[in-house]
Amino acid sequence: MNKPAITADEIKLLAAQAGFDACGLSPAARLDDHAGLMEAWLKKGYQGEMSYLERNRGKRYDPTLLMEGARTVISVLLNYFPAASLPDAQSYKVSRYAYGRDYHTLIRDKLRHLLLLITERTGPVTARVFTDSAPVLDRAWAHKSGLGFIGKNTCLIHPRKGSFLFIGHIITSLEVDSEPVAVTDYCGTCRRCIDACPTGALVDAHILDARKCISYLTIEHRGELPARLKPKFDNWIFGCDICQEVCPWNSFSVAHNVPEFKAGSKLAHMTKRDWEQMDEQLFDELFADSAVQRTGFKGLKRNIDFLKEE
């Protein structure tokens, strides 16, 4: 049998060189267990208006259908935990992952750089890069690659880095010897995330009803926000970090070292009055290349107006 052109350990070293905080590899094969869980979740309608999750399910569960010749999934993590959170005593709240530049662009660039480093060793290979933008079960692949366990809050939790982590993947035709060690689910009897969720979106351990989730409602939901939940929003206007804030594993979180993820000074000094008076010009100034573009100016204004005191 021919020796692989590159080893898993060598790829992990290159991933660190490309700026990632962790890397794991696993054989490209159908995710039968996760497929069953996803199908049961969809059947209950917990996806809400996210109809894109109902499409391309075959490809979502099996990377060999997503990319012909797929043999290995290279999964990476990138920390986004900030050195300081935006002040919220007299302001509205934005999820930490949206403080700076849109992570999709940045992680894709880093993944392409990692792929270049790999092909400098191996020669040309067939490969595709992904980060939260295609039918790929991100957390499932990160878990399978030994990068963490999926907590009761449905986030991937790295036992030494917490859960404020972006996930990316390279699916490639490279055959790499890898035997990832599954990470034990260390949630145990803890249910802090379930108890802390103000809207009851965590209906059970590891099960999220997106239709009740503040992140879903402020980003993905396109209609009016449910008035009955207004007292529970706790000033979140884009996303929500509550289930991560209360997680004991995030006591291990350390500040990221990615300049692009830092909040700009203007965003850091926004008051409630500033948010409420924000026009489209200021929105573009604050969020020109930001994940907040997902909801757009009108969506963010809807969220602010919903929470604004009469």
Active-site residue set: 132
Query: DSSP secondary structure string, the chain?
Result: -PPPSS-HHHHHHHHHHTT-SEEEEEE----HHHHHHHHHHHHTTTTTT-GGGGSSHHHHH-HHHHSTT--EEEEEEEE---SSPPP-TTS-EE-GGGSSS-HHHHHHHHHHHHHHHHHHHH----EEEESSSSS--HHHHHHHTTS-EE-TTS-EEBTTTBS-EEEEEEEES------PPPPP---TT--HHHHH-TT--EEETTEE-GGG-HHHHHHT--SPPPGGGGGGSTTEEE---HHHHT-GGGGG------GGGSPPHHHHT--HHHHHT--HHHHHHHHTTSGGGGTHHHHHHHHHHHHS--
Euclidean distance between CA atoms 40 and 36, whole angstroms? 6
Residue type, 292: V
Dihedral sign from CA coordinates of 116, 120, 121, 125: positive
Euclidean distance between CA atoms 12 and 71, whole angstroms? 17
Phi then psi for 25, rounded to 5 degrees? Answer: -130, 150
Dihedral sign from CA coordinates of 308, 195, 216, 168: positive
